[in-house]
Amino acid sequence: MDPSRKRRIRLVVALSAAVILAGALAYTSFSASSAAVSPSRLLASADTGHSYQLTGKVVDGSISRHGDATLFRVRDRNGSASVPVRYVGAVPDPFRDGREVIVTVRKRGATFVGEKDSLVTKCPSKFTDKPTSKT
Amino acid sequence: MATVGQACLILALLTCVYGIVASLYGARAGRRDWVDSGRRAVYALAFLAIVSFAILVSAFLRSDFHYEVVATHSSTTTPAFYRAAAAWSSQEGSLLLWVLLLSLWSSVVLFLVRRHLRDVAPYATAVLLGFGAFFTGLLVFAATPFKTMAVAPPEGTGLDPLLRHPSMMIHPPMLYSGYTLWAIPFAFAVGALIVRRVDADWIRATRRFALAAWCFLGIGILLGARWSYAELGWGGYWAWDPVENASLLPWLTGTAFIHSVMVQEKRGMLKVWNVSLVLATGTLAVLGTFLVRSGILDSIHAFGASTLGAPFVILIGLMIAGGIYLVVSRRALLASEHKLDSLLSRESAFLGNNLVLVGLAFVVFWGTFFPLISEAVTGTKAAVGPPWFNRYTVPLALVLVLLSGIGPVIAWRRATWANARRNLLAPTAAALAVLAALLAFGVTKSATSLAMFVFAAFTVAVVVQEFARGVAARRAMAREGPLRALVSLVQRNRRRYGGYTVHLGMAVLFVGVAASTAFQHARDVRLTPGTTATVGGYQVKYVRATARPVYRGERLERVALGAVLDVRKDGRHVTTLRTERGYYPSAAPFASGSLIRGIFDGDATSEVGMKAGLTRDLWTAIQPDPEYLNKVIDATAAKTAGKPPAQQAQAVGRLLSVYRQGAFPAQFRIISSPLVSWIWLGGIIVFAGGLIALWPAPDAARRRVTAGYAARVARELGRA
Amino acid sequence: MDFLAPVIVIVVLGVVVWLVSGPLRAGATVVEDADAARREDLEAAKEAKYREIRDAELDFRTGKLSEADWRALDRELRAEAMELLRRLDALG
C-alpha cells in the first residue's frame, strides 16, 4: 500500500471515530438534559419523574421551612402562575423573596422536588445597564 | 473630570482608527515611518486607557456619587481596598479594564518585537487596534463609565458583598490579562497568514506571550474557583457554570496550542492545525468576555440582560469567518514540511494530547451552549448538568494526565522501544507501588479517582526521574555540585524544565480534584446551640451563637449572625470553627421606615468558617433559620417602625442580644473534604513552572552586545 | 474644575499627537530596509536552531535518544544551522 493511500485511510478512520464520538455526545446530551421551563409551562404539562430546569422568581412571602426542607413557590418572570417547590439543603446566599432562581426539579405528586445543590440564584444585578430605581 | 475621561475614550477610539489606517498603509506602501506611527498608536491607546482608568478608579476611591457607576457599584461603607475593585465590577468598568490590559500588553509585545517580523507586525498591529476600536467603541457609544448625574445621591448601592473577597481584586485582572494576551498570538497569526509567511517565525516571536496568556488565564480560573470555595455558601470550587466554562475553553485550546506549536517549530508540521488552534483560542477568549457580558445563557454570573449582545455577535462572526477564509485561502502554503516518522515519537504524543484537549474543549463547548443548541433543534431551552460534563471530562482528564507523564520521556521523531521501555520502567514501578499501597489501605471507593492517583503518581515519578537524569548529565558534563547542577540545568533549558514543573503541578492539582470529589463528606444539618452533628467521623458541636454589628467608620457595614462550632474526632478536640452570615443594609436603610428591615432585606452573604490543612479541609457555613429569625425581625420592626433612628439602632442591639441567647436553630452546611489544598498547591507549582518557562533566557540580546565586546577584547589582546 | 477640563484634554491630545506623529516628523521618507528585517529574523532562527541542537544533546544524555540516532540528528541540525549562517553572511 503506498504511503499516501495509507495516510488517507488513517484520516478517514480518525474522522469517522470523531464523528461517532461527537454523535454519542450529542445524543446523550439530549437525553440527559433537563428542559428549562417556566412555572406556567410546568403547570400545563409535567410528567412525573422527568426532570425540568425551572426558572422564575420566588413568590413574595412564600418561603417557609419544614424541618430540613425549604418550601417556596416560583412564579413566572412576568406573570403570576406559580408552582410549589420543596428543596432540601442550604439555599444560596442571595436567595430571598422576588429573586430570580433556577432549580432542577422533578414532579412528586402536586409539588416539585428540587435536586440537591441545583438551586442557583441569579446575581442581584450589579451589572445591569439600567440604574436600579432605588432611591 | 468625567468630561476628561469621556474625551480620552473618544480620543482612544480615534487613535485606534488612525493606527489601523497608518499600519495598513505603511505595510502596503513599504513605508516604515507609517508602520512606526501605527505602532505608536498602540502606545498612545495605552496612555489614554491609563488616564481614563485612573479617573474612574479615583472616582471610586473618593466615592464620588456624581458618577452613575460609582453610585450603583460602591458606597462609603465599602472598604477602600474593595472600592478599587468595584471599578471593574461594573460592566462599563470591566470593558475599560479590557481596553487597558489589551493596550498595555499589546504595547509590551509590539515594543519587544519591533525589530522582528517587520512584514507581519503591521497587520498584527492593525488587528490589535481593531480589538481596541471595538471595545473603545462600546465604551463610547453603548456603555460609558463616565455618565454623571447632576445631583449625587448621598450614598451608593454598595459593592455586592459576595464580591468582597481578596481574590476578587486579582481574579478579573488576571482573567482579562489572559483573554487579552490571547489576542496577541491571534493577531500575529492573522498577520502571518495575510502576508503568507507561515513558517515558525511568528510562533517564535509570540510563543512567550501565548505562554503568559495561558498562565494568566489559568491563574484567573483558579482564583475564581478559590473564590467560589471560600466565599460562596455551597463549598464547591467548580460547577460547570457557563461563565466558568467560557474561561476554560480558551485555556484548553490554548494548552493544545502551546504544545502543538513545538511540533511546528521543530518539524514544520501541523501548520493548519496550529493556526486554526490559535484563531479558535482568540475567538473563544472574546466569546468568554461576551458570555459574561451578554446574559444569553442562564448562569449565576449572567449579569442581567445587556445591550451588548449584537455587537459581540458581529465581532465573533467576523473573527470566525475571517479566520476560516484565511486558513482556506492559504492552505497550499500550510502544507506540512515533514511526515510523521513514527507513532512512537514526541510528535505523536503531542498529537494525542491535542486530540484529548480539543475533545475536552468540544465537550465543554457543547455542554455550555447546549441550551442554545437544544432551543434551535427542539424549540425548548434545555440544559445539561454537572453529571453530564463529568461523564466525558473525567475519562479525558485521566488520559491527559497519563499522556503528560508519557510525553516527556519520548524523543522527537523516532523513539526506540528499548529507550522508551528503559525510561518508563521506574515510573511504572512507582505507579504500581502507589496502586498497591492504595489498595492495601482500602482506597477503593471510586475507580476513577484510584486511576487518577495512579496516573498522577506515574507523572510525578517521570518528572522526578527527568530532573534526576538531567542533573546527572549536567554533573557529568560540567562537574558541578548537585544543587548548582540543578540550577544551571533549569537555567539552560527553561522551556523543558518549566514544562515538566507544570506537568508536576497539574498532577498534584488533579489528585486534589479527584480526592476532594470522591472522598468528600458533606451534610446539611439543622442545629440548635448545644447539639452535635457527625460528618465524616468528626463530631461538630454548635457551641454558641454570636451576633455583632460591624461598623466602618461611623456607618454600619453589616450585621453578622454567626456560630462557634467545636470540632472533635474520637473525643479529641480538633479545631474551633467560626462562621457568620453578614447582612448588609441597603443603601438607604431607613427607606422602608424601619432600620431592621433595611438591614435584613439587603444583601446577605456567608462568611465561611474553614480549617484548611494539607490532608483535609473542614468547611462550614451558617444560615440562621429564617422562620424563627423572621418572627423576631417582624416583631421588632412592627414595634419600632417610624421611631427615631437612635431608638431603632437600640432595637437592633437588643435583637442581637436576643439572638445570642435565644438558642435559635440554624442551618449548617458542614463539609469534610480531603486534599482540597492540593488544588491550590498544584496551581502554585503550575504557576512557578510557567514562570520558569516564560523567563527570558539570558542569551539573545545581551549576548549579542557582549559578543562585540569580547571580540574587541580578544583583538586588542592580540589573541584574535 | 470647569476650565481645567478642556486644558487637560488639550494636553492629553497634544501628548497623543506628539507620540503618534514622531516617526512621521523624522523627515525624509524611510523606505523599508528589507535586509535589516531579514537579518533579525535569521538571527532568531539561528538562536532557535542552536537551542534545538542543545535540546537534542540533552535528550541523548538523559537516555531518550540512542547514540546513533543522536549523531544523525545532530549532523542534520548542524547542517541547517550552517545554512542559516551562510544566509546571514550573504546579507553582508
Q: Pick from B265, B419, B496: which is nearest to C66 by CB?
A: B419
pLDDT, one tens digit per residue, over B28-38 is 988 888 999 99
**B283 pLDDT exceeds 90?**
yes
Mean pLDDT in residue range B530-536: 92
B79-89: average pLDDT: 83
Q: What is the pLDDT of residues C17-46, one digit of tens each?
A: 888 888 877 765 555 566 777 777 788 888
Model pLDDT, residue B124: 95
At residue B304 the predicted structure's pLDDT band, cuts being 50, 70 and 90, is very low
Rounded Cα–Cα distance for residues B335 and B326 (Å): 14
Nearest-CA distance from B103 to chain A in Å? 24
B142-159 pLDDT tens trace: 888 888 888 878 777 777
The alpha-carbon gap from C22 to the nearest alpha carbon of chain B, in Å, equals 7
Check residue A134 and give its pLDDT.
26
- Helical pair B494-518 and B482-492, crossing angle rounded to 10 deg: 100
Cβ–Cβ below 8 Å for B40 and C20: yes
Query: Is B400 in contact with B357 (CB distance < 8 Å)?
Result: yes
Q: Model confidence over B569-626: pLDDT tens digits?
A: 998 999 999 999 988 887 666 666 678 877 887 777 888 999 999 999 999 999 887 7
Which residue in C31, C48, C64 is closest to B265 by CB distance? C48
SS3 for B503-528 is HHHHHHHHHHHHHHHHCCEEEEEEEC
Asked if the Cβ–Cβ distance from B586 to A134 is below 8 Å, we say: yes
Contact call for C23 and B36, based on CB within 8 A: yes
Contact B68 A131 (CB under 8 A): yes
| pLDDT (0 to 100) of residue B500 | 95
- What local confidence, expressed as pLDDT, does residue B11 receive? 94
- For residue range B187-234, what is the model confidence (pLDDT) as tens digits? 999 999 999 888 888 888 888 899 999 999 999 999 989 988 988 777
The residue with greater pLDDT, B341 or B493, is B493
Kind and range of the H or E element at A84? strand A82-88
Cβ contact A29–B366 (<8 Å): yes
Indicate the SS3 state at residue B239: coil
Chain B neighbors of C7, CB-CB under 8 A = none
Contact between C46 and C81 under an 8 Å Cβ cutoff? The reply is: yes
Model confidence at B394, in pLDDT bands (50, 70, 90)? very high
b or e along B219-240 (b: 16 or more beta carbons within 10 Å of the residue's beta carbon)? Answer: bbbbbbbbbbbbbbbbbbbbbb
What's the confidence (pLDDT) of residue B104?
A: 95
Please provide the average confidence, as pLDDT, over all residues in chain C.
81
Q: How many residues does chain B have?
A: 720
In this predicted structure, the answer to whether residue B448 has a pLDDT above a threshold of 50 is yes
Whether C and A touch (3+ CB pairs < 8 Å), yes or no: no
pLDDT at A95 over 90: no
Structure confidence at residue C4 (pLDDT): 83
Q: Are strands B603-607 and B572-584 parallel, antiparallel or unpaired?
A: antiparallel
Q: Which position has the higher pLDDT, B174 or B415?
A: B174
For chain A positions 39-98, those within 8 Å of chain B (CB to CB) are: 53, 55, 63-65, 67-68, 88-94, 96
Highest mean pLDDT among B319-328, B338-347, C30-39: B319-328
* Cα gap B170→B85, rounded to integer Å: 9
Mutate to test the interface with B, among A33, A58, A78, A87 (most CBs of B within 10 A): A33
Compare CB distances from C64 to B1, B419, B700 and report the shortest one's residue: B419
The CA distance from B465 to the nearest CA of chain A, in Å, is 34
Cβ atoms B191, B120 nearer than 8 A: yes
Q: What percent of chain B lies above the pLDDT cut of 90? A: 44
Do C16 and B11 lie within an 8 Å CB cutoff? yes
Is B427 or B410 the better-scoring residue by pLDDT? B427
With CA atoms as reference, the chain A residue closest to B292 would be A127
On the question of pLDDT at B505 being above 90, the answer is yes
pLDDT at position B701 is 46
CB B546 within 8 A of CB B529: no
Residue B719 confidence (pLDDT): 46
Asked if this assembly's ipTM is beyond 0.90, the reply is no
> Residue B511: pLDDT above 90?
yes
Distance from CA of B606 to the nearest CA of A (A): 7
- DSSP classification of residue C28: S
CA distance C80 to B663: 81
Judged on CB neighbours under 10 Å (0-12, 13-18, 19+), B480 is middle
Quickly state the pLDDT bin for B303 (edges 50, 70, 90). Answer: very low
Q: Which residues contact B235 (CB under 8 A, 6 or more apart)?
A: B229, B522, B608, B619, B621, B669, B671, B673
The C-alpha cell 502554585 sits at B684
What's the mean pLDDT when you consider all of chain B?
86
The mean pLDDT value for A24-46 works out to 81
Q: Please state, for a pLDDT cut of 70, what percent of chain A lies above it.
A: 84
Q: How far apart are CA B65 and CA C78, in angstroms?
A: 67
By the 8 A CB rule, do B304 and A129 touch? yes
User: Which stretch of A6-10, B13-17, C28-32 has the lowest confidence by average pLDDT?
Assistant: C28-32
The minimum CA-CA distance between A73 and chain B, rounded to whole Å, is 16
Which pLDDT belongs to residue B214? 95
What confidence tens digit (pLDDT) does each residue in B625-684 have? 777 777 788 888 888 877 887 888 888 888 898 889 888 888 898 999 999 999 999 999
| Top-confidence residue, B8 or B419 | B8
